[in-house]
A and B are shown apart, each in its own frame.
Chain A
Amino acid sequence: MSAKAQSLLWIAQRASAALLALCVIVHLVTIIYAVQGGLSAAEIFGRTRGNVAWFVFYSIFVLGVAVHAPIGLRSVFIEWLGWRGRSRDAALVAFAALLAWMGMRAVFAVFA
């Protein structure tokens, strides 16, 4: 992998970190605000079903995680396992896909 590609990964990780910091704050503030006085499953669905703004926000959140976590894991693999090369990159792409799939599945379940 070229120095440029490695630098781009670093930039993607920093950018997604900034995005995630924002998402986590919005997420926490929203749930603390929403849960005041108790909340039922039906009430949650009432707010999230068909709510496009909600859908977009959590899709971005999930995709941010799918970008951020595998890049961090890549450093862990290098430093702790000395794992480099194609097999490592394939494993990381699979991990990113798994995160995106699980996350989006959950988002769709609450949206649709």
Chain B
Amino acid sequence: MSALAVEVWRGGAQGAFQSFEVPRHPSQTVLDVVTYIQRSLDATLAYRFACRVGMCGSCAMSVNGVPRWTCRTHVDKVARENKLVIGPLRNLPVIRDLVTDMRGFFDKWARAKGSFAGTKTKRDDFARVAPDSADRRKVDAGIECIGCGVCYSACDVVAWNPDYLGPAALNRAWTLVKDERDVVKHERLRAVAGDAGCHACHTHMSCTERCPMGLAPTAAISGLKRAVLGSVLKGEL
């Protein structure tokens, strides 16, 4: 098969693209391409991956300008005229080459009160949540997030308003708002309301378009807006 012309970002915030030529293979993924470069062409290339099967969420990069999980993105699908431009995710500080600093992204999960708060201990019986209840279905729709940061990188509001919690943190908060076992709902709604939270979302839907898990953070954010509205009207916020 022919060779692939690959441009790879080198450096931190300041840097430049470096060109490589990589042999094409059937069923080759973008992560395969990056790995080939690191193992065979330039061992100093920094990138991040772990599971290689779309579970860990660590391999996201910008591929031809679009944020993607690279381990499950086939070159066939994204190469244009046998060319690939691979860079670090947008909206996150670049540490080196293809590696971004994800701390800001996950700190925002904490700010959105993204951790579960229940009352039961391990001595209590299991909570029984009906799988077909309306709330449980809403949780199901958002729960499979792998924390890859693709949505965060795709969101223009994050780029314009650095305080904005972003689609993944808000999606996480929504799954907890709909979790009947959780007991800090008011605090959480307060944490996700307003200029840095769900009300900043413009419903562009880039997050939903790009999420590799097929989640719809936009729908979660609309849910939060409705929940905040209800809580304001009831005087609970």
A: which residues have CB within 8 A of B? 1-8, 10-11, 75, 78-80
Which of B160, B197, B225 is in CB contact (< 8 Å) with A3?
A: B197
**A6 near B194 (CB under 8 angstroms)?**
yes
**B228 near A79 (CB under 8 angstroms)?**
no
B: which residues have CB within 8 A of A? 157, 160-161, 190-191, 193-195, 197, 199-200, 225, 228-229, 232, 237
Contacts A6-B199, A78-B161, A79-B161 hold; do A11 and B193 have CB atoms under 8 A apart? no
**B160 near A11 (CB under 8 angstroms)?**
no
**B160 near A7 (CB under 8 angstroms)?**
no
Distance between Cα atoms of A4 and B197 in the complex (Å): 12
Contacts A3-B190, A3-B194 hold; do A8 and B161 have CB atoms under 8 A apart? no
Contacts A11-B232, A79-B161 hold; do A3 and B237 have CB atoms under 8 A apart? yes
- Find chain B residues with CB under 8 A from A8 CB: 232
What is the chain B residue whose CB lies nearest that of A9? B199
- Find chain B residues with CB under 8 A from A5 CB: 194
**A7 near B161 (CB under 8 angstroms)?**
no
Distance between Cα atoms of A75 and B228 in the complex (Å): 19
**B195 near A78 (CB under 8 angstroms)?**
yes
- Find chain A residues with CB under 8 A from B199 CB: 6-7, 10
- Find chain B residues with CB under 8 A from A4 CB: 190, 193, 232, 237
Minimal beta-carbon separation of B81 from chain A (angstroms): 35
Of listed B190, B191, B194, residue having the most chain A CB within 10 A? B194
Minimal beta-carbon separation of B104 from chain A (angstroms): 17
Minimal beta-carbon separation of B196 from chain A (angstroms): 9
**B195 near A6 (CB under 8 angstroms)?**
yes
Contacts A3-B197, A6-B195, A79-B161 hold; do A11 and B229 have CB atoms under 8 A apart? yes
**A6 near B193 (CB under 8 angstroms)?**
yes
- Find chain A residues with CB under 8 A from B160 CB: 78-80
Distance between Cα atoms of A1 and B197 in the complex (Å): 13
- Find chain A residues with CB under 8 A from B237 CB: 3-4, 7
What is the chain B residue whose CB lies nearest that of A6? B194
Minimal beta-carbon separation of A79 from chain B (angstroms): 4
Minimal beta-carbon separation of A8 from chain B (angstroms): 7
Distance between Cα atoms of A7 and B232 in the complex (Å): 8
What is the chain A residue whose CB lies nearest that of B156? A79
